[in-house]
């Protein structure tokens, strides 16, 4: 990594903030997709359970699993994508926080360099 200067740190902060905005949008999108997929799965599961002619609860559950495989996989895949988007969002927040800390340290260092030293 190249040496941080006030100018390139400012660029990094702006870039990271822009990435954070995009990550928030992505997480929102993935969350909404998960909600729809989970709802579709639950409806399909309930419908399959109620319409099953199996005699035992375990047999009904097995039939539901077979009939709802597509919806279940879509819901689980959407959940994984939502969780991945959330982790990306958290990572960017942590990076932004670290860069803000560095910016604060640089500011303090520059202020101290401008003050005359007393003896």
Q: Token digits for 99?
A: 């860069």
Task: Give, as one character, the DSSP assignment of residue 68.
Answer: T
CB 29 within 8 A of CB 116: no
Secondary structure element (H or E) that encloses residue 91, with its range: helix 69-114
Output the six-digit token pair for 24: 């928030």
Average pLDDT over all residues of the chain: 92
Place of tokens 């988007």: 85
The 10s digit of each residue's pLDDT in 70-107 is: 999 999 999 999 999 999 999 999 999 999 999 998 88
**119 or 31, which is more confident:** 31
pTM given for the model? 0.78
Q: What is the pLDDT of residues 19-38, one digit of tens each?
A: 999 999 999 999 999 999 99
pLDDT band at 41 (very low <50, low <70, confident <90, very high): very high
């Amino acid at each position: 990594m190249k040496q941080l200067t006030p100018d390139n740190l400012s660029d990094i902060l702006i870039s990271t903030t822009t990435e954070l905005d995009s990550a928030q949008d992505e997480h929102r999108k993935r969350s909404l997709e998960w909600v729809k997929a989970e709802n579709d799965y639950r409806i399909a599961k309930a419908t399959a359970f109620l319409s099953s002619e199996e005699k035992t609860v375990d047999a009904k559950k097995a039939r539901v699993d077979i009939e709802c495989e597509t919806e279940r996989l879509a819901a689980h895949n959407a959940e994984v994508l939502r969780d991945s988007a959330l982790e990306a969002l958290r990572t960017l927040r942590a990076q932004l926080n670290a860069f803000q800390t560095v910016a604060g340290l640089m500011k303090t260092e520059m202020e101290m360099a401008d003050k005359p030293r007393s003896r």
